[in-house]
Chain A
Amino acid sequence: MSTKVSADALPTGRASRPAATRGAPARRPAREQAAATPWIFLAPYLLLFGGFVILPAVLGVWISLHSWDYTLPLKPFVGLDNYVALFDPNSTVSGPFWGSMRATGIFTLFSVPLLLTIPLAVALLMSKKFPGRNFLRAIYFAPYVLGVAVVAVLWRYLLDNNIGLVNHYLGLLGLPDDTAWTTSTPAAWVALIGVTVWWTLGFNAVIYLAALQDIPVELYEAARVDGANGWQQFVHVTIPGLKPILSFITIITLLASANMFGQSYLMTQGGPGRETRTAIYQIADTGLRNFQMGSAAAMSYVLTVFLMLVSVVVFWIFREKNEPKAKKVRS
């Protein structure tokens, strides 16, 4: 029994085979494994990816070409009508949809820079050695553990302009205490972005923190020997060291912000009027509450195209900055 196990054990088989054939490079036989092998290893993920990403994405295109109400027996094919309606200013869907795209744009534009810089500052602080560091790290990460419902309901009451604590304390400090945080813009944007930053900064901070710890201490020592002060060390050692992680954080923060839904759904109910109704809010409302699946699917694809364009731009920005640097090294 035990002999059999050791004979079947993979490392032995792998190690012995190349030697047994023709003294070819050790790696080659691995490539000559049965063609199915990589697919078998990938299969569990591919099944999930195919079933829950590829298939719905393709089905979504199909749905977007129909007037699709799943409760009705007839789902007439309407061609590109759902898309045309989105771009026709006289239709009932285009106004609310572009309003919601604008809302998503505003939110993303202001929340992303804050979610890139504040967590970095927090991470820099947390990477220092001081008593109570772990406790503070936990404190900063804690809000992220809460669900959006908890966060939104909590802040909705804190920020209530008539009965909330925030305005009460602002008043005690002699500041204006009548800001309508959830029922007027731009205050509602300040509230939504502020809450989102408070809620999610811990996540970005943890990624930054991990990246900071990967920057070799020797680089800082070398910089100090060269006479660099704290700021110069940050600009010439920390920032370049963070570059690989920076494009990753930017993209996921962008996508997370563009997908904002719960905060405005629960805190402002999309108000005042529809001003803080985001694209995802509008899509969910159209598809799930009004059962206009076709129109909602069309909206999703328009949003997807926008997000793809933005992602391309972000990749391009990060790539462009790398090239001059590479040239410098060569020259």
Chain B
Amino acid sequence: MTRPRMSVRRRLAAATAIGTAVVIGVTGCSGGSPEAAGEAFTGEYTGEEVELSFWNGFTGGDGPFMESMVEQFNEEHDNITVVSNTMQWADFYQRLPAAVTAGEGPDVGVMHLDQLATNAARSVIVPIDDLTDQLELTEDDFTTEVWDAGVYDGARYGIPLDVHSLAMYYNTEHFAAAGITEPPTDAASFQEALEKLSAAGYETPFWMPTRWPSHLMNLSLLWQNGGEPFGDDEASFGSDAGIAALEWQRGIVDDGFSPSDVAVDSQYVAFKNGETSITWDGIWQVNDLTESGLPYAMAPVPTIGDDSAVWANSHNFFLPRQASADQDKTDAAKVFIAWMSEQSAEWAGSGMIPARQSVRDAGALEGLPQAPIAEQIDDMRFLPPIPGIGTVVTETLEVAVSEGVLGSTPPADVLTDAEGTATQLMEDNAATFGG
């Protein structure tokens, strides 16, 4: 699945932060259609004082940044109070449909790009086309892929806040000791770097995870090899491009650059402890690594295949369906989304890359470690907006990549098998969601 890293440590920390859902009963009683996100957005909110519940999954190093932005918003808006409710993404995607179905959903929230279609198909979230018109947000200000993936069935459901991808982290001390001056950028220089690091005494310089984010590495490599993981109604990650990607991953273990059987999260812990020199992980780990005091640097994921490409995802604001419409709350929520989108420069401090070109051009990323990654924004690839795609990936690709890296089944066999199951699941989904 394409959720950010969720180490169990963090899961526990978040469990305490979740608390009870602060859902204030909707007081208004306009009796309007529950499916629509209210009337056209007017740009500002002048109505009575309202309290908005805002759900998100920023439980990691990104949490404090979101919290301070919310506080700032509350200070600037006398008649709107935003109360955030932060939970683990995995819980978030289970609870949101349940809460909305029970009429207890939040007033506004943030979710991942690849979940928008699923939740739109489930009528958990509502279209917000009027908001983009009012904000004068256009495709020009965003990467095409990010912008297009927010559209399902002809309507827009999400306003992108950021994009975040995989990146290559490396230990600068190890690189200096091995005499590597530039971070590797392609297959040859990456291989050379691994060999130099091995020779310099860092025997296992690149631990290959068997679990998260191994399937994201696989997707990145598949795209680099010119493949596509999914067609419109069938899976295609078992193509030669995907098999080559998984064979390369397993090859890292076979060549001895990684120990075998790297368990959940241990590649990251090992990197943090200086036991391994390179790891590929989400760019949002920046603050965690900086805090740990590790001498590290960050570079784009090298191009192992033919073209540069890397897995990415994006956080999007959405409006949930309400049991009874309250125009005041809907307007206030839109003001909140508009404000957050404009202030996304500050969000860059969390390690993410602001989704808007204008914000990036204004220097939001200056001096931040993810700046070199942001330059590659056009190489970032996203999962297609197909309802139910998230669980298809979790049930098939994730398990298959894990087995391939463990070496228990040859990459070609395991991917072909999983691809067949994935296609079947996609057909089931298509039937469930009515095409």
Q: A residues touching B (Cβ–Cβ < 8 Å)?
A: 67, 69-73, 92, 95-96, 149, 152-153, 156, 160-163, 180-184, 266, 268-269, 271-274, 288-291
Report the bound CA distance from A153 to B269 in whole Å.
Answer: 14
Q: B residues touching A (Cβ–Cβ < 8 Å)?
A: 8-9, 11-12, 15, 90, 93-94, 97-98, 100-101, 122-124, 207, 210-211, 259-264, 266, 269-270, 273, 275, 391, 394-395, 399, 402-403, 406, 408-409, 421, 424-425, 428, 432-433
Report the bound CA distance from A70 to B97 in whole Å.
Answer: 9
- In the assembled complex, the CB of B417 is this many whole angstroms from the nearest CB of chain A, namely 10
The one of A96, A149, A184 in contact with B261, judged by C-beta atoms closer than 8 angstroms, is A184
Report the bound CA distance from A67 to B93 in whole Å.
Answer: 20
- In the assembled complex, the CB of B262 is this many whole angstroms from the nearest CB of chain A, namely 6
Instruction: List, in ascending order, chain B residues with CB within 8 A of A272's CB.
Output: 210, 402-403, 406, 408
B263 touches A266 (CB 8 A): no
- In the assembled complex, the CB of A244 is this many whole angstroms from the nearest CB of chain B, namely 40
Report the bound CA distance from A273 to B405 in whole Å.
Answer: 10
Given contact pairs A181-B263, A273-B403, A274-B399, enumerate 14 new A-B contacts (beta carbons under 8 Å).
Answer: A70-B98, A71-B100, A72-B122, A72-B433, A92-B421, A156-B264, A162-B261, A163-B275, A180-B263, A271-B406, A272-B402, A272-B403, A289-B391, A290-B391
The one of B9, B97, B266, B395 in contact with A71, judged by C-beta atoms closer than 8 angstroms, is B97
B432 touches A183 (CB 8 A): no
Report the bound CA distance from A266 to B100 in whole Å.
Answer: 28
Closest 5 CB pairs between A and B? A180-B261, A71-B122, A183-B261, A71-B97, A273-B403
- In the assembled complex, the CB of B343 is this many whole angstroms from the nearest CB of chain A, namely 32
Q: Which residue of A lies closest to B90 (CB)?
A: A289
Q: Given A156-B8, A271-B211, A289-B94, A162–B270 Cβ distance below 8 Å?
A: yes
- In the assembled complex, the CB of B16 is this many whole angstroms from the nearest CB of chain A, namely 12
The one of B93, B260, B273, B408 in contact with A163, judged by C-beta atoms closer than 8 angstroms, is B273
A92 touches B425 (CB 8 A): yes
The one of A70, A95, A268, A271 in contact with B101, judged by C-beta atoms closer than 8 angstroms, is A70
B264 touches A273 (CB 8 A): no
B8 touches A266 (CB 8 A): yes
Q: Which residue of B lies closest to A181 (CB)?
A: B263
Instruction: List, in ascending order, chain A residues with CB within 8 A of B211's CB.
Output: 269, 271
The one of B207, B260, B399, B432 in contact with A67, judged by C-beta atoms closer than 8 angstroms, is B432
The one of B8, B275, B432 in contact with A69, judged by C-beta atoms closer than 8 angstroms, is B432
15 A-B residue pairs with CB within 8 Å: A72-B122, A72-B432, A92-B421, A149-B15, A153-B12, A161-B259, A162-B259, A162-B270, A163-B275, A266-B8, A272-B210, A272-B403, A273-B399, A273-B403, A290-B391
Q: Which residue of B lies closest to A187 (CB)?
A: B261
